[in-house]
Amino acid sequence: MKHLKWYSSPQYSQSLAPSTIGLILSFSFLLAAFSAHGSDKPNIVVIMADDLGWKDLHCYGNEWIDTPHLDRLAKHGMQFLNAYAAAPVCSPTRAAMMTGLSPARLRLTNHAPGNQDGFTLEGSDLQEAESIRNLDLHHVTIAERLKAAGYRTAHVGKWHLSYVPRKLDATGEREKSLRPEAQGFDINVGGCFLGGPPSYFAPYRIPALQEHTKGEYLPERLADEAISFVDKERDAPFFLNWWPYSVHYPMEAQETLIAKYRERKDIEDPVYAAMIEAMDRAIGRFLEHLESTGIAQNTLVIFKSDNGGYNGDNRPLRGMKGMIYEGGIRIPWIVRWPGVVKPGSVCEVPVISTDCYPTLLQATGLQRDANTPLDGESIIPLIQQSGDIKRESVYFHYPSYAFHKKNRLASAIRTRNYKLIKYYDDNSLELYDLITDIGETQNLAAERPEVVNRMLHDLETWLKEVGAKLPTRKPHKN
């Protein structure tokens, strides 16, 4: 994407280095990283929170919630200011991260179980597009690629990619066959069809997780499991895919933390605030363990969210989870990789969930399969500050109704500072300049038809290329 800028702090910027210098820097960064640890491949940790909004962390501007551990991760790594989820709901984003394919190409565009086939809102004839409800086994996941390359692999936490309707799976065996164990993970702790835990306090009633003690708190238990895994695998490269259930519904946290936030007058929901800090504490305990054991020096850590916020305050962004406005798709994204990522760096270039797959391939020296398409692009040049990425635009396709039914069926494209949204109910278009109007308050479509025409052409071309399923009109009865 052209007109790239990195920031060592939010106030100061520097221009992109020439491509020749970029290649030299790219090589030297990787050489430095690997020379410090022999020829070992880096360990990989991907932590993807659930329903965490772009502004929910202190390091992203939330002045009222304490997240010291994730703030420290950002201080020691790179913070992305224009990071996006591949979809405004969880299952499509998770599938995109695992495969490097867009939800539109996967035809997995809504959260499981979603709505009944052919669903329409009352008073409307617009049917949402067809969407599958699970990640099919024929897709080669990043876990399968890393496992084949000698990595030990573990999934800890939420999965939500193995949903099968009970009428088709009375015994539950089909759902079990689609869990992380079948998608390249040696170990699965907590990953199943559930979108949220029945309870954050044991007994959890999560089929893939047995509690240790009654009343234990789920984020702490998952941190224990993550620590246990890396301790067992410290002598070999490992891939830990840790997807906390936090901060998804139900809203539950320890009473001591809730009481803390009840004392803060600017906090509207003390339970939600307590859940965020509790997640931060659990992740922080894990990160501190990596550092104390020396594992952190050869570990690439990625932290992000699966979609925009739902329970918190997304302002200045418009919208929320389930909407294609920025509040539904813009997310926090932090990368730490000692010796490769410059501490305290910030990047403005748009990145998206599908980028995770090719990034991990390049980070571990693996080649992409030439016979399999990839919709993402490696962000290694960005985290090294050594070069550009090729694409001009990022795309979104959400032709489904979210669980709250407050969204309109739409597709969108962001190109540099502009974002174009196409709605399928009335074919209307909205154009926003996200640099001057991050809240998407001023529709510029009528003022800048040349921008609209160019971006609409690119969006429709992309939809055809990936074979996107579109909404349809329900036939009228005679």
pLDDT at 101: 98
Q: 167-171, 191-195, 400-404, 448-452: which has the minimum mean pLDDT? A: 167-171
Q: In which region does residue 205 sit, left (phi positive, over 0), alpha (psi from -120 to 50) or beta (all else)?
A: left
What is the tens place of the pLDDT at every residue in 136-156? 999 999 999 999 999 999 999
pLDDT at 39: 45
- The angle subtended at Cα 149 by Cα 144 and Cα 151, nearest 5°, is 75
**Which of 477, 459, 457 lies closest to 468, judged by CA?**
459
What is the tens place of the pLDDT at every residue in 341-374? 999 999 999 999 999 999 999 999 999 998 889 9
pLDDT confidence tier of residue 10, bands split at 50, 70 and 90: very low
Of the chain, the percentage scoring pLDDT greater than 90 comes to 86
Domains parsed from the chain with CATH numbers: 6-391 (3.40.720.10)
On whether the CB atoms of residues 272 and 247 are closer than 8 A, the answer is: yes
What is the tens place of the pLDDT at every residue in 166-222? 889 999 999 999 999 999 999 999 999 999 999 999 999 999 999 999 999 999 999
On whether the CB atoms of residues 109 and 119 are closer than 8 A, the answer is: no
SS (H, E, C) the chain: CCCCCEEEECCEEECCCCHHHHHHHHHHHHHHHHHEEEECCCEEEEEEECCCCCCCCHHHCCCCCCCHHHHHHHHCCEEEEEEECCCCCHHHHHHHHHHCCCHHHHCCCCCCCCCCCCCCCCCCCEECCCCCCECCCCCCCHHHHHHHCCCEEEEEECCCCECCCHHHCCCCHHHHCCCHHHHCCCEEECCCCCCCCCCCECCCCCCCCCCCCCCCEHHHHHHHHHHHHHHHCCCCCEEEEEECCCCCCCCCCCHHHHHHHHCCCCCCCHHHHHHHHHHHHHHHHHHHHHHHCCHHHHEEEEEEECCCCCCCCCCCCCCCCCCCCHHHHEEEEEEECCCCCCCCEEECCCEEHHHHHHHHHHHCCCCCCCCCCCCCCCCHHHHHCCCCCCCCEEEEEECCCCCCCCCCCEEEEEECCEEEEEECCCCCEEEEECCCCCCCCCCCCCCCHHHHHHHHHHHHHHHHHCCCCCCEECCCCC
**Which of 255, 163, 270, 263 lies closest to 217, judged by CA?**
255
pLDDT confidence tier of residue 35, bands split at 50, 70 and 90: very low
Q: Which range has highest mean pLDDT (31-45, 386-400, 464-478)? A: 386-400
pLDDT at 25 over 50: no
Sort 476 into a burial class: Cβ within 10 Å, 0-12 / 13-18 / 19+: exposed
Average pLDDT, the chain: 91
Token look-up 């038809």 returns: 449
pLDDT at 477: 65
What is the tens place of the pLDDT at every residue in 85-102? 999 999 999 999 999 999
pLDDT at 7: 37
CA distance linking residue 420 with residue 432, whole number of Å = 7
pLDDT confidence tier of residue 454, bands split at 50, 70 and 90: very high
CA 78 to chain centre: 16
pLDDT at 388: 86
What is the tens place of the pLDDT at every residue in 226-280? 999 999 998 889 999 999 999 999 999 999 999 999 999 889 999 999 999 999 9
Q: 33-37, 74-78, 207-211, 335-339: which has the minimum mean pLDDT? A: 33-37
Q: How many residues does the chain have?
A: 478
Q: What is the pTM of this model?
A: 0.91
CA distance linking residue 246 with residue 223, whole number of Å = 12
